[in-house]
Structures are given as C-alpha cells and as structure tokens.
Amino acid sequence: MHLLLGFIFYSNFSLAQEVKLSIKVIAPFKTAEGDSLVIIGDQPVWGNWMYPRSKKMEKLNDSTWVQQLSLPKNTKVNFKVTRGSYYREALYNQSGQIPAATSLTLLKDTAITLRPTSWNDIYQRSITGTVRYYHNFSSPLLKYTRNVVVWLPPSYFKQPAKKYPVLYAHDGQNIFDHTNGAGEEWHMDEVADSLMKKGKTDEFIIVGIANTKDRWVEYSGTPEGMNYIKFIATELKPFIDKNFRTLKDKANTAAIGSSMGGLISFYMVWYYPEIFSKAACLSSGFYFDDGHILEKAVKNSSRLNGSKLYLDCGGQDLDKDFLPANEQMNKILSENNAIKLKYQYFPNDKHNEQAWSKRLSIPLVFLFGKTGSFLN
C-alpha cells in the first residue's frame, strides 16, 4: 500500500513538473501559399538550432500557424521563427535588422503570439541600392525614439569625392519596403534609382525617418510637430552631414511626405527656410492642421520666397476631403511669383502608398530634375 501511494505521488510530482508552451505565429502578408513555418531553437523538437531537423508548425489557416509542446518547468527556451532556414528568418521591426532569438523561462503554462512584419530574404531582395540603418535614434526634443534609414545613390561608392543633395522623407518605414505590414510601399528606391540611371534627375541621398505612436501630433502644427522639425533641422541633418558626403546648403536640402507627412514637409520649409528650400507635399493634410498654416500663408507667404514646392492631391477616398484645402493652398501660393510652384490633381487616385508611388517620379524630377528633363 505504501509503495502504491509512493508511486502515485511520484507520478503526480513528475507530471507537475511539465508545463505547456503554445506558440502562435500570425504570418505577414508576404508569405507564399506553399511555404511552411519552422521554429529553430535550442530544444530537440526545434533541431537544437539545426534547421533541417526542425519540425514544421501546424497551419490553421492562410495566416496562422501554431505549435504546442510540453517541457520541464523552469526550462529556458530560445527560438526563432523561419520559413525553413536562417536566411528566411522572421523580422519584427521596420528596419530589416535581424532580431535576437525569442527567449522565455517556462515557469507555468505559457502561450505566446508572434506577429512578424516581414521575412529577411524578402526584405533584403526588395530594396534597390545600398542602405544604412540607424536604430532607435533619440532626441531630447522627442517623446519616442525612431529608426532612420539612409539610401545611397548608385554612384556613391564609385565617386568618393562627389557630394550629394539630400531628401528627408517622412513615414520612412514604408518608403522603401513593406515592413509596416500593410502590404504597400512607395517604391522610392526603385523610382529614384531608375530616374537617376536614366539621367532624368541628379543623384541624391534619401533619409527615411520612421513615424511613431505620435505620428498625428508630430506631423501637424502642434508644439510636438515643431519639436519634430526642429529635431530634423538641428540634430538629424547635422548627423547626416557629418556621416555622409552631402551638399549642405538649402538649395540641396529637401523634404517629402504624404498626407500628414506632406503637411509637416511644408512646415519644414515654412519655419526653416534657411535650411530647407524644397518640399514635395503629396495629398497633404492641410485639412487637419492644428497650426493653421493656411491662415498663415494667406496673411503673408513671403517667407517661402525662393523655395520650390510641389503640391498634389487625388480625388478619391480621403483625398476627396483633402482636396479643397490643397486647392486653396495652391491658389494662395500661386499669387506669389517668388515661389516656384507645381500643383497637380489626380482625380482617380486614392489616399494610399500605391497612388503616391505611381506619381512619385513627378515630384522627384521637379525637385532634382536635370535641366531639360521631360517632367521638369
């Protein structure tokens, strides 16, 4: 009897030491239908970091994969989600940086959900040209850090004495690649590279600045918006000028953005005309501006004298609401002959990256086009 009780106690004790780990992965949109998700890690079921030995995850539907296993309590696990190899690892950021392994100590039954934004091989293949990443760029002027990516033109390493104009681009996480998870991007790398190689524009550097949770407040005429553009003018630009071969004068320094990003691009030229003389403002959110830039421009637009400004707007979706304010700004600026202005209306375009990408060559040629270019 005592032996039986001891066996039951020992069995229950052993079972109590096992905990369950449930892993769910919500795959990013750019995952081929025939792909399998494979966890690589430091447990036998994960191949002990040898991916050919790893077990595939169970597919619940087109976007959801799961795996469940039992391990001894207090086990520390380390793993990565892949599509079958280290070259096809999951990314969870907007910069293309390979993340560290997910690390957990299993003190109890644990369920974890992972939401990759892209895959390393897809990300690396999708950017045309050479980029440099600066992660978690911080400033005492800003509430949140942000990633900055610098795109270098085709001749940058071939002509080591050459200096280049610079274009500062807002919403930097979706101008080169679709790591924002929405499946849309500007394709700014491909468009710029093509224009440069065809001789339609001078070569220029692109600095993409990722947005944060404060996007709406930072991209408007609020105190936070003023701090954001001050950060670009007084901290980020000096950093870029120090680390890259740039033409530092205002004639060679421009900004570009869409929606609220178009609005804050306009503000950059308005408040820092000695630094930024060019801006491309696509589908701009003048309609939502807390700084009332339209009223300021009506009173006096002379601070924009000598600047080069591109404005446009679509006619569908949210652009339909934005259109009247954009037309009003165009009318105001058209009355000042000291501003070089280009305004275009695209009646069939919606308010999205696909539309902005489709017409991106127009503002790029307007800002950086060589003399005689067919779009200038």
pLDDT in tens, the chain (376 residues): 444 444 444 444 444 599 999 999 998 766 777 788 999 999 999 988 887 788 899 999 888 999 999 999 999 999 999 988 877 888 887 555 678 889 999 999 999 999 988 887 776 556 788 888 888 899 999 999 998 999 999 999 999 999 999 999 999 988 987 544 444 789 999 999 999 999 999 999 999 999 999 999 999 999 999 999 999 999 999 999 999 999 999 999 999 999 999 999 999 999 999 999 999 999 999 999 999 999 999 999 999 999 999 999 999 999 999 999 999 999 999 999 999 999 999 999 999 999 999 999 999 999 999 864 444 4
Give the three-class secondary structure for 71. Answer: strand
Structural domain boundaries in the chain = 17-120, 127-368
Element (H, E) at 254: strand 253-258
127-368 folds as: Rossmann fold (3.40.50)
Residue 125: per-residue pLDDT? 56
Residue 352: per-residue pLDDT? 94
Residue 10: per-residue pLDDT? 46
Neighbours of 318 (CB within 10 A): 15
Q: What single DSSP character describes residue 100? A: P
**Per the structure block, which two tokens stand in for 226?**
């003023």
Whole-angstrom distance, CA of residue 75 vs CA of residue 177: 37
First vs last Cα of the chain: how many Å apart? 96
Quick check: 346 and 315 in contact, CB under 8 A?
yes
Whole-angstrom distance, CA of residue 344 vs CA of residue 362: 9
| pTM more than 0.75 | no
Residue entry with tokens 């009506």: 298
Quick check: 139 and 233 in contact, CB under 8 A?
no
Segments in 120-236 forming alpha helices (H)? 120-126, 188-197, 215-218, 223-231
Number of residues that this document lists for the chain: 376
For residue 60, the number of C-alpha atoms closer than 13 Å in the C-beta half-sphere is: 11
Quick check: 69 and 20 in contact, CB under 8 A?
yes
Q: Is 292 exposed, middle or buried (0-12, 13-18, 19+ CB in 10 A)?
A: exposed
How large is the greatest C-alpha to C-alpha distance in the chain, in angstroms?
Answer: 103
17-120 folds as: Immunoglobulin-like (2.60.40)
Whole-angstrom distance, CA of residue 344 vs CA of residue 347: 10
